[in-house]
Amino acid sequence: MEKNKKLLVSIGLGIVLLICVLLFLSFCSKQPDQNPTSNNNGSTPTNTPTNTNTPASSEFKVVNKPALVEGMKAIKWENNDWVEVNDPDKDTSWYDYKKKPEAGSGEWANAKTSDGSYWVWIPRFAYKISNEKVEIVFLQNNSNKDENSKEIPGEFTVHPAFTNKVSEGGWDTEISGFWVSKFEAAKDDNGLVFKPNVYSYNNITIGDAFALSKELPYENSFPHLIKNSEWGAVAYLAVSQYGRNGIEVSPNLTKATLSDGKTTSVTAGGNGVDGLAASEQEALVKNASQSTTGNVYGVYDMAGGLWERVAAYINNGNDNLLLNGKAIMEDGDPNGSNKYKTVYPYNKSDDTNEANYNLNKAIKGDAMFETSSGVGYKSWFGDESSFMFGNAVFLHRGGSTVNNPGVGIFTFSNTPGMAGNPLGFRCAIIVK
């Protein structure tokens, strides 16, 4: 009898042990994969996206993560000066494009290259214009999806500067954003620089400005003279809810006379009258209303300063095309747009300002035809609107230090492209 009891106890313990083992194995089989992006050999499956700007990752913070050029350092404004961000991948406090209730509180991403030049990140977005207001929706990666992974509504347009449609001012591929120089171009012993509180680089033809811009020594990138579509993208972001929120960007009217008697402007407005401020910081803070954000985080000099050339022209055969713009004309097909320039159509039977304006009225994104009602002072805020024609075959933007109602971020006018005191430029960068 005692022997049978021991046998039954042994069998019972064995059954309990078996049940425990089965429960343990079942539990393990239901545990989630701790590395869902890896396959059995530890490699990443080809159909699994990596390093993408999704809202759940550090790559997407309302906008696409700024793509830093090699040698470019992220910076942020602290204690009345710019300081370098040690780990911009983890510390995203250096930018905040979120909608704010008041103008002048948005913080666009700023960075500095090794030559001391300053740059501002313009992230991919779609826009809608209604009642002279621009509404912006930021987009993920190179897609048409918003921060909630939803397709943009039909009334919104992906800004052409971020698309692969070169005929509309795009690049040769879809892009997540681009860098624009924070200030008008200046020059030092080493070449072009983009710094605050220095004399703007003028007296240069549009052809030379185009060539010099492409020679900027930034590796793994495509520096270039800003295109008209890129100007438009910055202008739209500037007046949107993420910039000045409908408030006009104040003009830089500082006009300086140099030792040789020639005149120019001062980047970031200098002392606000006729020369340099006591420091870079003073110019930035004192003239913050001249920035696209109303604070030090925006782009300066887009209203006033110097007339800024953009990489655009009409090819009507005028002599000025080669006389003043040889480099831009000979970059690819002189009759067609490419990723570095935009060639606009002209009215072959009536090559006049108004006729050419009307021919191009359907074009979007350039902050010209969507934001003006004709030729004259008919752009938003009363800015000048004058298209290319005749011997004035090139385009420039923003106006100069001349204090008149036509100076502003939506100003556009024609030029023969020659060198002159009130004529300057700025650059943009696409990262490879």
pTM of the model: 0.86
Number of helices and strands (H, E) in the chain? Answer: 6, 21
Render 328-381 in DSSP notation, one character per residue: HHTSS-TTS-BTTBEEEP--TT--SHHHHHHHTTT--SSSSGGGBSSSBS-BGG
Nearest-angstrom CA–CA distance, 227 and 311: 5
Give me the pLDDT at residue 402, please.
83
- Taking the CA atoms of 419, 288, 191 and 278 in sequence, report the sign of the dihedral they define: positive
Nearest-angstrom CA–CA distance, 379 and 406: 9
Q: What is the pLDDT of residues 152-170, one digit of tens each?
A: 999 999 999 999 999 999 9
Nearest-angstrom CA–CA distance, 306 and 286: 19
Average pLDDT, the chain: 89
For the chain, which ranges sit under pLDDT 70?
Answer: 1-61, 99-104
Q: What is the pLDDT of residues 11-31, one digit of tens each?
A: 555 555 555 555 555 544 444
* Helix (H/G/I), strand (E/B), else coil: 222: strand
Tokens of 56: 């759940």
Give me the pLDDT at residue 37, please.
36
Q: What is the pLDDT of residues 409-432, one digit of tens each?
A: 999 999 999 999 999 999 999 999
Residue 17: phi, psi to the nearest 5? Answer: -60, -40
Least Cα distance to 313 among 357, 350, 346 occurs for 346
Give me the pLDDT at residue 11, please.
57
Q: What angle do CA 330, 332, 337 make, to 5 degrees?
A: 110
Give the contacts of 244 (CB within 8 A, at least 6 positions apart).
103, 104, 238, 292, 293, 294
* Helix (H/G/I), strand (E/B), else coil: 84: strand
Q: What is the pLDDT of residues 79-121, one digit of tens each?
A: 999 999 999 999 999 999 986 656 667 999 999 999 999 999 9
